[in-house]
């Protein structure tokens, strides 16, 4: 029955990703994929915090399935990141494509680290 927790999280995460992406893109109105960048960063922060909490023994594995695998898995999107980066490069915005790759990796890793640190501070 663990798969139901993953599905339940994904049912929330996927529409949340879409709606957040559209709202952020409408706000910035740029060729740079700020919406995908934002949802991926938020998902990394949430996953880092949740994983840190689980490692500290504060949260159950069922919550990790629901929020980590389900919600964060559906909220973040590597395929859209890849597609949007390729489209930037194909349209001649190679510098923006490179910025997207470097910034996404650095911000994602930083967000996971920050989330883990926050959980460590909260639950230590």
- For the stretch 108-121, pLDDT in tens is 999 999 999 999 89
State the pLDDT at residue 59: 61
State the pLDDT at residue 58: 64
Q: How big is the chain, counted in residues?
A: 124
- How many CA within 13 A on the CB side of residue 7? 4
C-alpha to C-alpha distance for 92 and 98, rounded to whole angstroms = 12
Beta-sheet strands, E only, within 53-102: none
Q: Is the pLDDT of residue 105 over 70?
A: yes
- For the stretch 47-71, pLDDT in tens is 999 988 888 776 678 888 999 999 9
% residues pLDDT > 70 (the chain): 98
- For the stretch 10-36, pLDDT in tens is 999 999 999 999 999 999 989 999 999
Task: Determine phi and psi for 112, rounding to 5 degrees.
Answer: -65, -45
C-alpha to C-alpha distance for 25 and 93, rounded to whole angstroms = 17
The pTM is what? Answer: 0.92
State the pLDDT at residue 90: 98
Determine contact, residues 119/51, Cβ cutoff 8 Å. Answer: yes
């Amino acid at each position: 029955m663990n798969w139901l927790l993953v599905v339940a999280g994904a049912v929330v995460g996927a529409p949340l990703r879409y709606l957040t992406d559209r709202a952020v893109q409408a706000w910035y109105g740029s060729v740079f994929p700020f919406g995908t960048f934002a949802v991926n960063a938020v998902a990394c922060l949430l996953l880092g915090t949740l994983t840190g909490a689980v490692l500290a023994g504060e949260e159950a594995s069922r919550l990790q399935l629901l929020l980590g695998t389900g919600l964060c898995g559906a909220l973040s999107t590597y395929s859209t990141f890849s597609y949007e980066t390729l489209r930037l490069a194909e349209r001649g915005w190679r510098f923006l494509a490179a910025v997207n790759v470097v910034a996404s990796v650095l911000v994602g890793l930083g967000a996971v680290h920050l989330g883990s640190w926050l959980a460590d501070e909260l639950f230590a």
